[in-house]
Amino acid sequence: MARRAPDDIVDLIESQVGSNGKKGWPVAVCDRIAYYPGKEQRNANVAVTFLWTMRDAVLPKLDRENLAVAANFYTPAGMEGMIRNILGNPCIRYVILLGEEYSSRSKDDQVSDRTSANAIRAFFERGLDEEGKIPGFETAVNFDRNIPKEIISKVRENVELIDLNKKMPGASLDDKIKEANRLLRTLERKGPFINTPMTFEYDESAKSFPYEGGPIVVHGSTIPKAWVEMIHNIYRYGKDNLMNADTDRWVKEINNMVVVVHDPQNMDLSFNPFLVPLTKEKIEAYKREILSSELPPGKAYTYGNKLRAYYYPSSKDVKSLVNSEEYKDFEFGKGPHLDANVKYKDGFCEIDQIMDIAEVLKRDRYSKAAVAITWHVADELMRKHKSSPCLVLLQAMVQDEKLNLTVMFRSHDMTQGWPENAYGCAAIQKEIADAIGVEPGILTVISGSAQIYRHYYSQVEEMLKKHRNYEEDFNDPRGNYAVEAKDGRIIVRLMDPQTGKELESFEGSTPKDVYTKISHSAGSNIRTDHAMYIGTEIQKAANAIKAGRVYEQDRD
Tell me: the pLDDT tens digits for 38-74? 877 888 999 999 998 988 899 999 999 899 999 999 8
Residue at 146: amino acid letter: N
Q: Mean pLDDT score of the chain, rounded to an integer?
A: 90
How many beta carbons lie within 10 A of that of residue 440, not counting itself?
21
Residue 4's pLDDT is what?
A: 47
Sequence-ordered strand ranges (E) for 352-473 = 371-373, 391-399, 402-413, 439-453
Average pLDDT over residues 269-283: 93
Average pLDDT over residues 518-522: 90
Residue 245's pLDDT is what?
A: 74
Residue 528: which residues within 8 A CB-CB, separation 6 or more?
none
Residue 386's pLDDT is what?
A: 61
CA distance 30 to 231: 26
> Are 329 and 286 within 8 A, CB to CB?
no
Q: Is the dihedral of CA 463, 465, 470, 471 positive or negative?
A: negative
Residue 108's pLDDT is what?
A: 45
Q: Say what the pTM is.
A: 0.83
Asked if residue 111 has pLDDT above 60, the reply is no
